[in-house]
Structure 1
Amino acid sequence: MKLYDHIRDGKTYIIAEMSGNHGGKLENALAIVRAAAAAGADCLKLQTYTADTITLDCRTDDFLVHDGLWKKRYLYDLYKEAYTPWEWHAAIKREAESLGMDFLSTPFDFTAVDFLETLGVELYKIASFEAVDIPLIRKAASTGKPVILSCGMASAEEIQEALDACRSVGNDHVVLLKCCSAYPTDFDTMNLRTIPDMRSRFGVPVGLSDHSEGSLASIAAVTLGAVVVEKHLCLASCQSVDSDFSLNETQFAQLVRDIRSTERALGKVNYAPSPAEAQSLAHRRSLYVAADIRKGEPFTAENLRSVRPAFGLHTRYYDELLEHGRAAKDLAFGTPLHWEDVDGVEPH
């Protein structure tokens, strides 16, 4: 599992979320796995539920979506369409691992955790809507596997309660994800500056579950210290329940490239010239003779200037040389000034 190796090495752990983007076809699911691997994702993620394990087949107003992407759909019907058949999981996991990716899933009830344990999963994800399901969190955490916890809609107190639930069963291997549970998410509602505050407040690594359009928010999150980025991946050729806020194969590959380039650009704290800058050092400013000077003549603003390149004395000596310095010999226009050219000022 790459998660904590990446965190230790300062590399973002990139999760490709399949969700319902397979459109009910196993061949699409496997194509998404291959696309994730080709893009450079570290992990392929599923969601493990059925309509019956996540909600009730009830047609009252409580179970009807009233706005947003799935407006006027009943929860049971939506989840029946979007779920990933459990009999696919093993094949998807094998495909992901054969391509060098980790495999992760989000369980939505106790039976899902038990099922995923039979598959030998190495970590769990708790969805934002389940961040208040304390028994489920304890169940997943009690496996001893790392838990990635999305925090969409959660207050600071609810996040702490979820963390406490993990720790109550001896599991302190938790990563929090800043998240806005709106699909798609407007930039105005993301509040990414919360990421470093979460890290400081809760004392655990923090990442981003990104439902916004494009990759801009994910890149911004990495600059703020996000150690995990989760993004939905779909096939350009397949319209599904989640594709409106997912990246297609080409877009996801660009996301990965942009994150890796961002990591390179962030680098480390460094005040010295980089190796690439070394050749430019010669083009900084230094002191040069700006007009012919006879031996014994004083240096003036007319015959001594700070200019590019950098082969003369440092500019820090300019004022002192104008006040006390004289030419130790005849000096021609364009000569870089050195200490042997100076009388009246001791070399220092």
Structure 2
Amino acid sequence: MQLFNIINQNKTYIIAEMSANHAGSFERAKEIIHAAKEAGADCIKIQTYTADTLTIDCDNKYFHIDDGTWKGDTLYNLYKKAFTPWEWQADLKNEADKIGIDFLSTPFDNSAVDFLENMGIEFYKIASFELVDIPLIEYVASKGKPIIMSTGMGTLGEIEEAVNAIKRQGNNQIYLLKCSSAYPAISENMNLNTMVNMKQIFGVPVGLSDHSMGSIGAVTAVAMGASIIEKHFCISREIENPDSSFSMEKDEFKKMVDDIRNVEKAKGYIRYGVTDEERDSIIFRKSIFVVKDIKKGEEITKDNVRVIRPGYGLPPKYYNNILGKKALEDIERGTPFSFDLVGEGDD
């Protein structure tokens, strides 16, 4: 698992969320894993549930979706279309292991946790909608593995309850993701400053689960200190499925990864002074120069010396110290000033 190593190197851990983008095809699911690796993702994520483990087949008003991307569907029918068959998942993990990309899943009930444990899963994801499922969170935490938890819709109190549920199991391996649980999300509702605040409050690495279109949210989050970015990933948005409309295609994802890596380089480390690249430029700082010919014994004044570019003379902070002193020799205009050119003033 690369999670710890990447974050410890001050790099962003980038997750490609497959979700329903396999559109019912095992071969496409494998293709997505390879494409995510080629696009620069550190991890491929799936979800482990069935329609029956997540809800019930009921047609009354409580189970209908009335707004948004999935308007008109029932919860049961949506999850029946979107789920990743459990019989695929061990083979998908093996495929990911084979090409060197981490494999992660989100369980939605205890049976999914048990299934993933038998698969040898190394860490877990808790979805935003499950933030309030404290019994599930406790069960996941009891496995003693790292937990990445999305916090969409969560109040500060709800996030605190979920974090405490993990810690009660003796598990302190917690990563919190800011998330806007709208599909797609819009930039105005991302409120990335909340991510920074969560890091301050809970003292854990933070990141962004990003359902917005494009990469500006993800790249901005990294600039603000995100350690993890999660984005939905697909082969093509033309392949219709419940998640395609807000997923990134390979080229878009690759561009986002490149932008994130460039932001990391720009953030750099805490460093003062001259960098190697700046050494050639330091001569263009200001320094003290002779700007009018000076005869031996003549006084140094504001008329014959000035602080100008380039930087071969004395630093400007010594300017007032040399005024009034006497030249020890003739000094030609354009000479960098130095202390050995003057005496101590009047004898």
TM-score (norm 2): 0.95
What is aligned with 1:210? 210
Letter in 2 for 1:307: I
**How many Å separate the matches in 1 of 2:203 and 2:301?**
61
Shift of 1:319: 2.3
**How many Å separate the matches in 2 of 1:77 and 1:339?**
85
What is aligned with 2:290? 289
Report the secondary structure of 2:20's partner residue.
coil
Report the secondary structure of 2:294's partner residue.
coil
Report the secondary structure of 2:104's partner residue.
strand
Report the secondary structure of 2:306's partner residue.
strand
Report the secondary structure of 1:104's partner residue.
strand
Deviations 1:187-243 (A, max 9, x none): 111111112211121222211111112111112211222111111111125333212
Deviations 1:89-119 (A, max 9, x none): 1121111111111110001111111111111
What is aligned with 1:265? 266
Correspondence 1:73-152 to 2 at 5 A: 73-152=73-152
Shift of 1:345: 5.7
Letter in 1 for 2:77: D
Report the secondary structure of 1:279's partner residue.
coil
**How many Å separate the matches in 1 of 2:151 and 2:345?**
67
Deviations 1:56-110 (A, max 9, x none): 1111111111111111221111111111111111121111111111110001111
Report the secondary structure of 1:326's partner residue.
coil
Q: Which runs of 5+ in 2 are unaligned?
A: none
Report the secondary structure of 1:343's partner residue.
coil
Shift of 1:291: 1.7
What is aligned with 1:243? 244
**How many Å separate the matches in 1 of 2:102 and 2:280?**
43
**How many Å separate the matches in 2 of 1:201 and 1:317?**
48
Letter in 1 for 2:165: A
Letter in 2 for 1:230: E
**How many Å separate the matches in 2 of 1:345 and 1:182?**
76
Deviations 1:264-304 (A, max 9, x none): 11111111211111111112111111122222222233321
Correspondence 1:158-307 to 2 at 5 A: 158-236=158-236, 238-307=239-308
What is aligned with 1:36? 36
What is aligned with 2:337? 337
Shift of 1:6: 2.1
Letter in 2 for 1:135: P
1:62 aligns with 2:62: yes
The verdict on how the C-alpha distance between 1:132 and 1:345 changes in structure 2, with shifts beyond 3 A counting, is farther
**How many Å separate the matches in 2 of 1:133 and 1:47?**
16
TM-score (norm 1): 0.95
Report the secondary structure of 1:20's partner residue.
helix
Q: Equivalent pairs: percent with the same residue?
A: 51
Report the secondary structure of 1:157's partner residue.
helix
What is the total number of aligned residue pairs between the two structures?
Answer: 345
Shift of 1:343: 2.4
**How many Å separate the matches in 1 of 2:345 and 2:51?**
87
**How many Å separate the matches in 2 of 1:187 and 1:157?**
24
Report the secondary structure of 1:66's partner residue.
coil
Deviations 1:291-345 (A, max 9, x none): 22222222233321212111111111112323x2232211112111111212236
**How many Å separate the matches in 1 of 2:291 and 2:203?**
60
Letter in 2 for 1:123: F
Report the secondary structure of 1:105's partner residue.
strand
Letter in 1 for 2:306: R
**How many Å separate the matches in 1 of 2:191 and 2:75?**
28
Q: Which runs of 5+ in 1 are unaligned?
A: none
Letter in 1 for 2:52: D
The verdict on how the C-alpha distance between 1:209 and 1:345 changes in structure 2, with shifts beyond 3 A counting, is farther
Of 299-308 and 158-167, more deviation after overlay is shown by 299-308
